[in-house]
Structure 1
Amino acid sequence: MAMWIQAQQLQGDALHQMQALYGQHFPIEVRHYLAQWIESQLWDSVELDNPAEETKAKRLLDNLVAELQKKAQVQGGEDGFLLKIKLGHYASQLKSTYDRCPLELVRCIKHILQSEQRLVQEATNASSGSGGQAMDTLSQRHQQINQAFEELRLATQETENELRKLQQSQEYFIIQYQENMRIQAQLSSLSSLPPTERTQRETTLQSKRATVEAWLAREASTLQKYRLDLAEQHQKTLGLLRKQQTVILDEELIQWKRRQQLAGNGGPNEGGLDVLQSWCEKLADLIWQNRQQIRRCEHLTQQLPLPGPMVELLSKLNADITDIISALVTSTFIIEKQPPQVLKTQTKFAATVRLLVGGKLNVHMNPPQVKAVIVSEQQAKALLKNESTHSESSGEILNNNCVMEYHQATGTLSAHFRNMSLKRIKRSDRRGAESVTEEKFTVLFESQFSIGGNELVFHVKTLSLPVVVIVHGSQDNNATATVLWDNAFAEPGRVPFIVPEKVLWPQLCEALDMKYKAEMHSGRGLSDDNLVFLAQKAFSSSSNNSEDYRNMTISWAQFNRESLPGRNFTFWQWFDGVVELMKKHLKPHWNDGAILGFVNKQQAQDMLMSKPNGTFLLRFSDSEIGGITIAWVAENPNKSGERLVWNLLPYTTKDFSIRSLADRISDLNHLLYLYPDRPKDEVFAKYYTPPLSKAVDGYVKPQIKQVVPEFTTPNPEPSAGATVFMDQTASPSVTHPNNFGVYPPMADGMLDPDGDFDLEDTMDVARHVEELLRRPMANQWNSQQS
């Protein structure tokens, strides 16, 4: 309800804009009387482009109608009686309007709430600015655009007034011209009169004709001046329109597209499209008004031809205004929701295109159809150079035709492609070392429609962001690298799809940090120390000074074409493996600050050796993609008084799908403190799996636990009937392998105080668990249960 209270305090143009959001599609009285309920609902949780969400939207509609009916019933008194009838009527009206399309109600209310929030925010910024505080850049820019629109509105109104004056003057001129013709006709008819009368009448008519002709001569000159002045005013207005259109299309819209592109790398949601549409619609309205004025000037000129350059001037003005509106229409055919940039064949995907000026120009009166085709990089270049008049395709997209729909509640004209699928792809010859996951395509959307009663016909096209086509999930990693590099470093207005071969290291750091933050869904991104670690890995360097890397450049080949020294994977493949592991299993621990992660083995050893025994930390594996290991400091069991740092075999996604990190840490009793000095239960206890329930129907549920043999402390024999866990048994080195299905003795190679593990020489914990689950219980255990 807080938003509605602030919205009611808006003034001037902002108040008018807020009021214009409401109407028959959603009465303002409903917003007022159900303000608290409306603002408490999770409208954003409904995906408008997903038909499966219709049930959720229908429930919201039914609840809204029920709330209205409830509000109507509690009204009393004379005034309350009228309000009761009105609210009941609105309940029936909303039910009737949206019962078959409940998603449209959600779209309508989301649009209203977002618009109110924007108007309130702009008003707040303006208010703080007038109080002596500097307004933010966004607010200042919006204010400048709105001031320019007001200037254009006044200029258009002035030319409209001048045009009416010109029309009135011309109409009076024509009347006087007709009067002069009538006098001329009378003079011609005097020959039939007697000489005396003829002379007298002729003198009078000649005098009258001379007066009228003198007036006509003066007025013709005045009309010509009016026309020239009006043409000059229109020329100035067109200049202002061009300037405003350049700001909106070449700056604001391009910035929105750039934000949309960065959103593909995890940047903030692009937003602001409704504001852009409102500006584009204002532009369309003003351009169309001026075009109509110029057309009326042409009509007046044809009605009364006068000597001078007016015909050429008006022809030039008409051509210029047509160019302006053509640029507006073709530029505002945009992709609101991009297709996935890593596109797998035979997989359903969606996209949405929108014509920002469609509602204002009444394009929806004859809804156009939009077609989608996939084209190669070379075909995209030819299209932009106008070298190709027809759209050749590099593949086959199913369900690639869609009719644009007009949503009255939001005033948007858009086409929602919900069930497209790329059936096949035709690849071009690759260049040099380029792999299939470096080849870029784009989805071309095109349509044709007319405005002004078929007066102007437009063929519009727009290209999606670059798309990498894959046929198997194993290609996703490398395809994502291509997309990330393109999104991060593409220049506005580039030739498709040129990107720099090298970039400064800090530029790549910004892209990696953006991606990492987005996947972790938190503000904790990559620290300076993390970025130094990544620089050391990327450049095979040992420097710990971030300044040493500030002016260094990294190439695409270093990023994801050449393997890291001594490894069979690239820098990006390693980093993406970390991101996937964290995203799927370790996100809460990263956000809690429990995972250092970007620490090499030597750094971990230096950090832990100064801490008490049992101190441990979590770091990403250097030798394995998507691996994380536990390093801890403890006594050397083979040499009294010597302390060592041990590194556990790295865990991967497979391990955490069996047992979580928190439970694994809980299992290992020799781990006491998370670096630097936090008790482990203080950090991880809230993530431990609750204890198992008691036996049900005579069955005891088994529990998986992990054990590190060298660090397992033997416990006394358990009492009869007690639950036995792996870490309560004697070390596997002294326990008979058949007892309780405990792991067989592990080789000393499982623990390596000096380096990472060779995965080919040993088995990880997950594989031991799999063996355990497949292994039949020992006869001794079965006999005890029976």
Structure 2
Amino acid sequence: MAMWIQAQQLQGEALHQMQALYGQHFPIEVRHYLAQWIENQPWDSVELDNPAEEAKAKRLLDNLVAELQRKAQLQSGEDGFLLKIKLGHYANQLKSTYDRCPLELVRCIKHILHSEQRLVQEATNASSGSEGQTMDSLSQRHQQINQAFEELRLATQETENELRKLQHSQEYFIIQYQENLRIQAQLSSLSSLPPAERTQRETTLQSKRTTVEAWLAREASTLQKYRLDLSAQHQKTLGLLRKQQTLILDEELIQWKRRQQLAGNGGPHEGGLDVLQSWCEKLADLIWQNRQQIRRCEHLTQQLPLPGPMEELLSKLNSDITDIISALVTSTFIIEKQPPQVLKTQTKFAATVRLLVGGKLNVHMNPPQVKAVIVSEQQAKALLKNESTHSESSGEILNNNCVMEYHQTTGTLSAHFRNMSLKRIKRSDRRGAESVTEEKFTVLFESQFSVAGNELVFHVKTLSLPVVVIVHGSQDNNATATVLWDNAFAEPGRVPFVVPDKVLWPQLCEALDMKYKAEMHSGRGLSEDNLVFLAQKAFTSSSSNPEDYHNMTMSWAQFNRESLPGRNFTFWQWFDGVVELMKKHLKPHWNDGAILGFVNKQQAQDMLMSKPNGTFLLRFSDSEIGGITIAWVAENPNKPGERLVWNLLPYTTKDFSIRSLADRISDLNHLLFLYPDRPKDEVFAKYYTPPLCMYQGYFSLHQSITLFPKFTTPNPEPSGGTPTFMDQTASPSVTHPSNFGVYPSMNDTMLDADGDFDLEDTMDVARHVEELLRRPMANQWSSQQS
């Protein structure tokens, strides 16, 4: 209800725009009397393009109708009688209007709420500015655009007034011209009169004709000046229209498209399309008004030809105004919802295209059909250079035709492709080391429609963001790298699909941080220390000074074509493995600050050696994609009094699919404090799997499964040998030293040759226990009790 209170305080044009949101489709009285209820409903949770959401929308409709009926029943007394009747009527009206299309109700209310929020925000920003506070750049641009629209409105109204004056003057001129012709006819008929009468009448008519002809000569000159002045005014208005259109299409719309592209990398979801549509519709309205005025000027000129350049001037004006409206229409045919940029064959996908001026030009009166085809990078270049007049295809898309629908509640004209599928793809010859996951395609959407009774016919096309076509999920990682690089570093107006071969390291850091934060769904992205770690890995450097990397560049080959030194994977493959692991299994722990992650083995050793025994940290594996390991400090079982840092073999998605990280840490009793000094239960206890107990004759066993060997003295070292860390020593044997009595006795089969633990046996134990947990154990329980 807070928003509705603010919306009622709007003034001037903002109030008019708010009131225009309501009508028969959704009465403003419903918004007023159910304000708080409406604002509390989960309208945004409904996916409008998903037919499966219709049931959810139907429940919202039914609840709205029920709430209206309840509100109506609460009205009493003489004053409440009419309101009771009115609310009941609205309940029936909404039920009959949206019962067969409940998603349209949700679309309508979402549009209303978002528009109200925008209007309130703009009014708040404007108010802050009037009080001397500095408005942000977005508000300043919006104010500039709105001021320009007001100037255009006044200019268009002025030319309309001048055109009417011209029309009235011309009509009077024609009347006087006809009068002059009548006088001439009268003079011609005087020959039949007697000489005396003829002379008298002739003198009078000649005097009158002289006066009229003099007036006609002066008025013709005046009319010509009016026409030239009006043409000059139209020329000035067209200049203002071009400037405004350039600001909206070449700046605001391009910025929206750029935000949409960055959203593919996890940037903020692109918003403001409804605002853009309102601007484009205002442009279309003003352009059309001026075009009609120019056409009327042409008609007046044809009706009364006068000497001078008017015909050429009007022809030029008509051509210019047609170019302006053509540019507006073709530029506002946009992709509202992009197809997936990693596109797998034989997989369903969706997309939405929208014509921002469709409602204003009444295109929906003869709904156009939109066709989608997939084209290669070379074909896209040819299309943009107008070297290709027909749309060649590089593959076959099923369900690639869709009719544009007009949604009256929101005033949008769009085509929703819900069930497209790429049946096949035709690849081009690859260059050099380029792989199939570096080849870019694009989905071309095209349509044709006419306006003003076929007076103007438009053939519109728009290209999707680059897509990489894959045939198997194993290609997804490399395809995502191509998409991320393109989205991050593409320049506006580029030739398809040119991107720089190398970029500055800080630019890449920004892209990686954006991707990471998006996948974690939190504000905790990559810190400066994390980025230094990544730079060390990317450039095989040991410098810990961030400044050392600011002017370094990273090439595409370094990013995802060449393997890291000593590894069989690229920098991106390692980073993407981390992202996938965190996204699927460890997101809460990262957001809690429990995972340091971007720490190498030597750094972990330096950090832990100054901490008490049992202190541990979690870091990403250097040697395995999508792995995380636990490093901790403890006594050397081979040399009492000596402390070592130990590292487990990395856990992967496979391990966490069996048992969670929190439960695994709970199992390892020797882990006491999460670095630097947080008790582990304080950090992880809320994620532990709760113990189960006996229920209806079944017994579920929950115990702390110790999957970790205890420490003992390893094989004797050569005399004078220097102690080493666990990942460097031979595997120790296992006994029961008193200081580690919590560990069970077992053979050291879980340590690898370098001293890290082999988790295959660990997972076998876990699987065995999980199998036991699923078995009925009533008989075993009874025998133990006896």
TM-score, normalised to structure 2, is 0.93
How big is the shift at 1:705?
A: 2.9
1:321 aligned counterpart, secondary structure: helix
Could you list the per-position Cα deviations for residues 163-192 of structure 1 after superposition, in whole angstroms to 9, with x for gaps in the alignment?
A: 000000000000000000011111111111
Task: Assess if the C-alpha contact under 8 Å between 2:731 and 2:748 holds in 1.
Answer: no
How big is the shift at 1:15?
A: 0.4
User: How far apart in 1 are the matches of 2:449 and 2:505?
Assistant: 47
Could you list the per-position Cα deviations for residues 316-339 of structure 1 after superposition, in whole angstroms to 9, with x for gaps in the alignment?
A: 000000000000000000000000
User: How far apart in 2 are the matches of 1:459 and 1:227?
Assistant: 34
Task: Rate the CA distance shift 1:72–1:324 in 2: closer, same or farther, 3 A.
Answer: same
How big is the shift at 1:76?
A: 1.6
Task: Rate the CA distance shift 1:738–1:777 in 2: closer, same or farther, 3 A.
Answer: farther
Select between 149-158 and 720-729 the one with higher mean Cα deviation. Answer: 720-729
How big is the shift at 1:699?
A: 3.3
How big is the shift at 1:704?
A: 7.9
How big is the shift at 1:79?
A: 2.5
How big is the shift at 1:107?
A: 0.5
Select between 3-12 and 82-91 the one with higher mean Cα deviation. Answer: 82-91
User: How far apart in 2 are the matches of 1:530 and 1:371?
Assistant: 46
How big is the shift at 1:152?
A: 0.2
2:511 aligned residue = 511
Question: Cα RMSD between the aligned structures?
Answer: 6.0
How big is the shift at 1:65?
A: 0.5
User: How far apart in 2 are the matches of 1:522 and 1:92?
Assistant: 44
Could you list the per-position Cα deviations for residues 468-497 of structure 1 after superposition, in whole angstroms to 9, with x for gaps in the alignment?
A: 000111000000000000000000000000
Task: Assess if the C-alpha contact under 8 Å between 2:558 and 2:571 holds in 1.
Answer: yes
Task: Assess if the C-alpha contact under 8 Å between 1:649 and 1:764 holds in 2.
Answer: no
How big is the shift at 1:691?
A: 1.0
Select between 73-82 and 398-407 the one with higher mean Cα deviation. Answer: 73-82
User: How far apart in 2 are the matches of 1:661 and 1:136?
Assistant: 45
Aligned length: 780
User: How far apart in 1 are the matches of 2:379 and 2:479?
Assistant: 20
Select between 631-640 and 533-542 the one with higher mean Cα deviation. Answer: 631-640
1:188 aligned counterpart, secondary structure: helix
1:473 aligned residue = 473
User: How far apart in 2 are the matches of 1:734 and 1:193?
Assistant: 146
Task: Assess if the C-alpha contact under 8 Å between 1:647 and 1:751 holds in 2.
Answer: no
Task: Assess if the C-alpha contact under 8 Å between 2:646 and 2:726 holds in 1.
Answer: no
How big is the shift at 1:277?
A: 0.2
How big is the shift at 1:115?
A: 0.5
Task: Rate the CA distance shift 1:428–1:470 in 2: closer, same or farther, 3 A.
Answer: same
**Mind listing any 5+ residue stretches in structure 2 that lack a counterpart?**
none
Task: Rate the CA distance shift 1:554–1:759 in 2: closer, same or farther, 3 A.
Answer: farther
2:717 aligned counterpart, secondary structure: coil
How big is the shift at 1:742?
A: 16
2:598 aligned counterpart, secondary structure: coil
How big is the shift at 1:765?
A: 7.5
Could you list the per-position Cα deviations for residues 496-526 of structure 1 after superposition, in whole angstroms to 9, with x for gaps in the alignment?
A: 0000000000000000000000000000000
User: How far apart in 1 are the matches of 2:24 and 2:562?
Assistant: 62
User: How far apart in 2 are the matches of 1:501 and 1:603?
Assistant: 33
Could you list the per-position Cα deviations for residues 504-557 of structure 1 after superposition, in whole angstroms to 9, with x for gaps in the alignment?
A: 000000000000000000000000000000000001111111100000000001
How big is the shift at 1:78?
A: 2.2
2:219 aligned residue = 219
Task: Rate the CA distance shift 1:572–1:778 in 2: closer, same or farther, 3 A.
Answer: farther
Task: Assess if the C-alpha contact under 8 Å between 1:644 and 1:753 holds in 2.
Answer: no
1:497 aligned residue = 497
User: How far apart in 1 are the matches of 2:724 and 2:783?
Assistant: 16
1:374 aligned counterpart, secondary structure: strand
User: How far apart in 1 are the matches of 2:262 and 2:728?
Assistant: 52
1:284 aligned residue = 284
User: How far apart in 1 are the matches of 2:722 and 2:773?
Assistant: 21
User: How far apart in 2 are the matches of 1:124 and 1:350?
Assistant: 37
Q: Which consecutive aligned stretches of 4+ in structure 1 deviate over 2 angstroms post-superposition?
A: 698-701, 703-706, 711-786
User: How far apart in 2 are the matches of 1:716 and 1:404?
Assistant: 80
Task: Assess if the C-alpha contact under 8 Å between 2:145 and 2:244 holds in 1.
Answer: yes
Task: Rate the CA distance shift 1:119–1:723 in 2: closer, same or farther, 3 A.
Answer: farther
User: How far apart in 2 are the matches of 1:740 and 1:613?
Assistant: 12
How big is the shift at 1:760?
A: 10
Could you list the per-position Cα deviations for residues 22-43 of structure 1 after superposition, in whole angstroms to 9, with x for gaps in the alignment?
A: 0111110000000000000011
How big is the shift at 1:780?
A: 11
1:25 aligned counterpart, secondary structure: coil
User: How far apart in 1 are the matches of 2:306 and 2:724?
Assistant: 109
User: How far apart in 2 are the matches of 1:676 and 1:470?
Assistant: 44
Task: Rate the CA distance shift 1:723–1:5 in 2: closer, same or farther, 3 A.
Answer: farther
Task: Assess if the C-alpha contact under 8 Å between 1:564 and 1:571 holds in 2.
Answer: yes
User: How far apart in 2 are the matches of 1:33 and 1:340?
Assistant: 42
Task: Rate the CA distance shift 1:456–1:666 in 2: closer, same or farther, 3 A.
Answer: same
Task: Rate the CA distance shift 1:211–1:779 in 2: closer, same or farther, 3 A.
Answer: closer
1:46 aligned residue = 46
Task: Assess if the C-alpha contact under 8 Å between 1:406 and 1:414 holds in 2.
Answer: yes
How big is the shift at 1:77?
A: 2.2
Write the mapping of 1:293-332 to structure 2, written as runs, cut at 5 A. Answer: 293-332=293-332
Task: Assess if the C-alpha contact under 8 Å between 1:355 and 1:414 holds in 2.
Answer: yes
Q: Does 1:556 align with 2:556?
A: yes
Task: Assess if the C-alpha contact under 8 Å between 1:743 and 1:772 holds in 2.
Answer: no
How big is the shift at 1:766?
A: 6.8
2:457 aligned counterpart, secondary structure: strand
Could you list the per-position Cα deviations for residues 588-647 of structure 1 after superposition, in whole angstroms to 9, with x for gaps in the alignment?
A: 100000000000000001100100000000000001110001110011112211111111
Task: Assess if the C-alpha contact under 8 Å between 2:501 and 2:556 holds in 1.
Answer: yes
Select between 419-428 and 752-761 the one with higher mean Cα deviation. Answer: 752-761
Task: Rate the CA distance shift 1:719–1:153 in 2: closer, same or farther, 3 A.
Answer: farther
How big is the shift at 1:649?
A: 1.4
Select between 628-637 and 723-732 the one with higher mean Cα deviation. Answer: 723-732
1:357 aligned counterpart, secondary structure: coil
**Mind listing any 5+ residue stretches in structure 1 that lack a counterpart?**
693-697
How big is the shift at 1:392?
A: 0.5
Select between 775-784 and 230-239 the one with higher mean Cα deviation. Answer: 775-784
Could you list the per-position Cα deviations for residues 737-786 of structure 1 after superposition, in whole angstroms to 9, with x for gaps in the alignment?
A: 99999999866474479776789999898788799999999999999699
1:135 aligned counterpart, secondary structure: coil
Task: Assess if the C-alpha contact under 8 Å between 2:156 and 2:286 holds in 1.
Answer: yes
Task: Assess if the C-alpha contact under 8 Å between 2:520 and 2:582 holds in 1.
Answer: yes
TM-score, normalised to structure 1, is 0.93
Task: Rate the CA distance shift 1:504–1:770 in 2: closer, same or farther, 3 A.
Answer: farther
How big is the shift at 1:129?
A: 1.1
User: How far apart in 1 are the matches of 2:221 and 2:545?
Assistant: 80
1:432 aligned counterpart, secondary structure: coil
Could you list the per-position Cα deviations for residues 227-259 of structure 1 after superposition, in whole angstroms to 9, with x for gaps in the alignment?
A: 000000000000000000000000000000000
2:614 aligned residue = 614
Task: Assess if the C-alpha contact under 8 Å between 1:709 and 1:732 holds in 2.
Answer: no
User: How far apart in 1 are the matches of 2:778 and 2:748?
Assistant: 26
User: How far apart in 1 are the matches of 2:79 and 2:187?
Assistant: 77
> What is the identity percentage for the equivalent residue pairs of Structure 1 and Structure 2?
93
User: How far apart in 2 are the matches of 1:23 and 1:722?
Assistant: 85
How big is the shift at 1:717?
A: 35
Select between 15-24 and 757-766 the one with higher mean Cα deviation. Answer: 757-766
Select between 72-81 and 528-537 the one with higher mean Cα deviation. Answer: 72-81
Task: Rate the CA distance shift 1:587–1:721 in 2: closer, same or farther, 3 A.
Answer: farther
